[in-house]
Each structure stands twice: as structure tokens, then as C-alpha cells.
Amino acid sequence: MNKITNKQKITILILAIIIIAGIIVTFTSGFNFDLNLQQTKKIDLYIENTFEESDIRNITNDVFGSQEVIIQKIEVYEDSVRIIAKDITEEQKNNLVEKINEKYGLEISKDSTEITTIPNTKGRDLLKPYILPFFIATVIILVYMMIKYRKLGVIKTLVTVVAVLILAEVTLFSLIAITRIPIGILTMPMVIAVYLFILTLITFKLENKLKNKKDEKEIKE
């Protein structure tokens, strides 16, 4: 049995601290989802002509201050704007309509402008399209590795690869929770990138072990 080095002990301790801290943050505060995935409120306004997003941004900065706001051009001719924020009060709506009317010489009615609630996107809905392809790819990779590195022990290889992959992804999500990086469209590409990077490292390690085993066998012979 290989003895655990001091470097490995430090690495294990750091990973344990990160994972424990990530679990605590996840249960107390949850993940920080991107505004596009949270429950938000929106206002759609017909500007009648094309417009510059920067002009609308200046108006929303005045109305909403430091609150995060998403501005989207909608309709075929991009002559309407959708303004999305975590929360929009009646006062903010009225102020927004006034400033839009003033900027573009419009007569948009405050009373006919509605604030609509957009429901949040659940985390499982974000992951759902990736689950089956991820599972199939992982099974194929595991079968391949068990066959290729069978001389190192089929069960040992399987357990090692699965354990390291799970540990890497759990650590990644723990770091995301701790640092409050917003979960959004870039989250899954990040997960896949870490997955491939760890697989590459595992393959490199297994190749070295297999080579060393062959060398030892040749020396004995």
C-alpha cells in the first residue's frame, strides 16, 4: 500500500475544507443563479422606431440605480424593448415610461403598461439536456478504461476514475457556491471542461502506472 505523502495530505485537507464550506453555503444561501434564470419581472415597450441599447441603458440606470437590468430588443423590426429586473415597482414603471416617452417623443400609457412576472428556471431544468449524453459518454469511457487498464485491476481502475471525477465536480460546484459565481449558460461548458481536464490527467496517470508495471515485469524476466 502506497504511503500518503505530506503534499497529498495537504491537498486532501484543502479539498475537504472547500467541499464542507460549499455544502454549508449551498444549504444556507443556495447557488447564485444568473438573472436570466431567477424569477424576475419584465416590461415590454413599443418604441415605434429602432433604438440604441445604450440610450435605454442610460434610462434604466436612472430608474433602477445599481440594480441589475437586462435589456432586450424584441419583435421582428427590433422596434420594441423588453426590460427585465429582479423587481419592478409601480413607481419605477411609471418613471421608466415617462423617460421613454420624453426620449422618443412617445405617448405610452402608464396604465396600459403591465409588469409581468417571469418564473424562475430550476437547476434541474438547466441540467436536463446534458444528463443522458453525459451518462452515456461516461459509461463508454469507463468501459474503455477498464479494458485498456485491466492489468492495473478492473475494479480498482473503475473506482479510481469514478471517485476522482465525482470529487472534481463536487469541488467545482463547491467553489461556485462559495465564490457566488452566477450559474447560467456558461456553467455546463465549465463543468464539461473540468470533466475533460480531469479525464486527461487520470489517463496520463494510468498510462504511467501501466508503463511502470510493464517495465517492472520486463526487469524481472
In a domain, 137, yes or no: yes
User: Of 63, 92, 118, at which residue does a domain stop?
Assistant: 118
In a domain, 63, yes or no: yes
State the CATH number of the domain containing residue 112.
3.30.70
Q: What is the pLDDT along the chain (221 residues), one digit of tens a residue?
A: 456 788 888 989 999 999 999 999 999 988 888 888 888 999 999 988 888 889 999 999 999 998 999 999 887 778 899 999 999 999 999 999 999 999 999 889 988 899 999 888 777 777 888 889 989 999 999 999 999 998 888 999 999 999 999 999 999 999 999 999 988 888 888 999 999 999 999 999 999 888 887 766 666 65
In a domain, 21, yes or no: yes
Looking at residue 79, what is its pLDDT?
Answer: 86
Buried b (16+ CB within 10 A) or exposed e, 197-213: ebbeebeeebeeeeeee
What is the DSSP secondary structure assignment for residue 184, as one 8-state letter?
Answer: S
CA distance 108 to 45: 8
Looking at residue 128, what is its pLDDT?
Answer: 83
Looking at residue 21, what is its pLDDT?
Answer: 96
Report the number of distinct structural domains present in the chain.
Answer: 2
In a domain, 221, yes or no: no
User: Of 118, 145, 163, at which residue does a domain stop?
Assistant: 118
Grid cell, residue 52, equals 440604441
Indicate whether 12 and 48 sit together in one domain.
no
Looking at residue 165, what is its pLDDT?
Answer: 93
Indicate whether 111 and 125 sit together in one domain.
no
Residue 127 exposure: Cα atoms within 13 Å on the Cβ side: 9
What is the distance, to the nearest Å, from the Cα of residue 3 to the centroid of all Cα atoms in its chain? 37
What is the DSSP secondary structure assignment for residue 86, as one 8-state letter?
Answer: S
Strands (E) in the chain, as ranges, are 40-46, 69-74, 80-85, 116-118
Compute the radius of gyration of the chain from its Cα atoms.
26
What amino acid is encoded at 178 in this protein?
Answer: I
Q: Print the domain residue range for 170.
A: 6-33+121-215
SS3 35: helix
Going from the C-alpha of 155 to that of each of 149, 198, 206, the distances in angstroms are 10, 19, 14
CA distance 212 to 199: 20
